[in-house]
Structure 1
Amino acid sequence: MEKLVLNQQNKPRLLEIIQHIKSAKNIVVIVGAGISVSGGIPDFRSPDGLFAEIMKQYPGVFSSGRDLFDLSRIFISSRSLTTFYKFMALLKQQVISARVTATHRHFAKLNNINKLLRVYSQNVDNLEERAGLTINDCNNIRSSDRIVKLHGEIDNVWCNICHKTFPFSSDVINAFKEGIPPECQYCMEQVEKAKISGKRVRNPRSPMLPRPNILLYNDFERTVGEEIGRVAYHDQRKADCLLIMGTSLKVSGCKSLVKDFSKAVHNRGGKVIFINTTEVATNNWEGVIDVHIQGASDDWAELVESELEKEPANKKRKRSCEDEDKQEDIKGGKRKRSANKSDKIVGVKQGQPTLQLRRRSRPQGKNLFNLCYIT
């Protein structure tokens, strides 16, 4: 893996690397919390990050950051549940006050010149949408969506009694601040209807309580991993450049995603570029990542944009109607050659996501895209 510091001295080599972005037609970006730090959201794992801040108030409740997002740990006691809710209130308030960064705007510009295929985001802050990228529903991803939310989003709250979402409003924030669950408006409506009709009322405030619409470890009710797998399979057949930004690649699901996209990109002669201020978490990335550019993602975005602006307007790619017609139906798998004819997906627990493909003689059941790139 080539390593370059993002500075003036290395600019000639950096410009050579940018040529791969200029020639690419279907860029995939995988991002982590680092791209939102300059927007006002501290990262999670650093000594002054969000986890350290909440642990100062509630020492000893969770032994690690992972425990704070583990469903089996959150509901183990009233104290752990209170800590989780208060943390989510803190995170939501920081997201509300956060600013869209130069990196997020860069993604929107790549999309405007029809170079961006997809952004796979580990973040729940929704700054990509605020920058202008589109997403319909993280549980029902369309081929036209430019964002895939690997870990969900924090604009809504999800009720795992009725499985519906409702806005993460100021009332919900206030409830979380107090360490108590909010009431699900849909469940409460059903209670009122049952009372009026004289039917038996089901208690909506069961042990499984409303929480932010994010994905947790050991949460086997959520099936968004299947949607992510379908989109990733689709995109790996087109991607010709992979950018990895603002993540140290510690999460196993994200590592699997990077390795699968790297293989697909390299098969097309493309490059895998890692942009981060720190090194990757482990050293087994030879042959996966081509170059590590050590620097801030905002500085890299500004350098790339300055070079893209020099490109003549008549050479900028225009997505034709034919390109759109060739978009694969992600949900239906309408192409003649599709993975669900002979592939078996294994190792799909959301608590320990892996991606393995095994050949088999015939399909068994409909749900064959059960891939988990999530944590």
Structure 2
Amino acid sequence: RNIASFGGNPNDVTISGCSAGGGSVEFLTISPIARGLFNKAITDSGAVLGVVGPQDDPIANAKLYAQHLNFTNVDDINALEEFYTSASFELLLAGSELIVTGFYGSSLLFAPCVERDVGEEMFLSDTPVNIIQSGNYSNIPLIYGFSEMEGLLRIDEFNDLKDRMNQKFTDFVPDELQFESETQKEEVAARIKEFYFGPEGVTEANILAYVNYFTDVLFAYPMLRIANMRRQSLGDTIYLFQYSFVDENTPLVPHTNVRGADHCFQFFAVTNEDVTNATDEYKDMKEIMRQLWMDFITIGNPTPAGSSLPSWPAVSGYLSPFMTINATSRVELSPLLGDRARFWDAIYEQHYRQPLTPSNAGIASA
């Protein structure tokens, strides 16, 4: 309601975010307490799966972080609660280096979690997958997508991680997967490594495969899996895209002559930034992105009748159609990520682990 005081329309609100912000946007679209507050959403490089998805085991995470802050009575749930509610802000931030966990920053320690019902409003009353598959969420139009080389987020660690990946690839399997045994995990890890890197493993020669791997496991595949669930559940109107614009100012990927759109580059193309030294091509790209986003925000369609851009239809099949956004933007009819998405489909269908809920975390009566 307050948006009216700033010239906005409380009956036509669009939310947008990238990375953790993109995940936050999607969490809001499935939260029961946010139902009816938003009319459209733009989710960039983040979803309710993957790196910015929910915590798997919030009690274990709370214990881990408390111990890191030198609190020892972690097995008493009431004492643990008292510690967190009484600790100073400075103390709670003292161990912030532990908040990003998993295989080199693959998950967040204090992401949203499924909450206990204590008679108050619950932000997340069930797991995101259950909520979406049940259809118990707000069906609003979405722009949904990512940059082509999101995995460049991990390029500075390449020299270290390539050796670690070659030595023990099981450490790099997504945290949200589960296995019956360590042997099974090793078998799946070997399949993944072979799929992306072949028999030679991770090398400078296939650094683009390294980029693709982190693109897929951190951001792209989790987004695509959720997009497909939404389509199958309520037939959501989803405008799917991949941003791949580069110009002479875009850095070369090390050991290649290739330039790539890095994590959240599509988001920066929409926002205000200093373009003093930008190329004319990038300035044009910003105009295109802003027009797409503005038409979606105001009309609900990124390419309404009369648009100078190729008509961008909503998803109607398996991860298609989608828009490739670059200097020669075009609509693609084949599934986004194609074989890479199908590869992960098979793994997630067999090994995806739902986050713990209060009823199966042993704290229902705590």
TM-score relative to the length of structure 2: 0.28
Larger strand proportion of the pair: 1
TM-score relative to the length of structure 1: 0.28
Larger helix proportion of the pair: 2
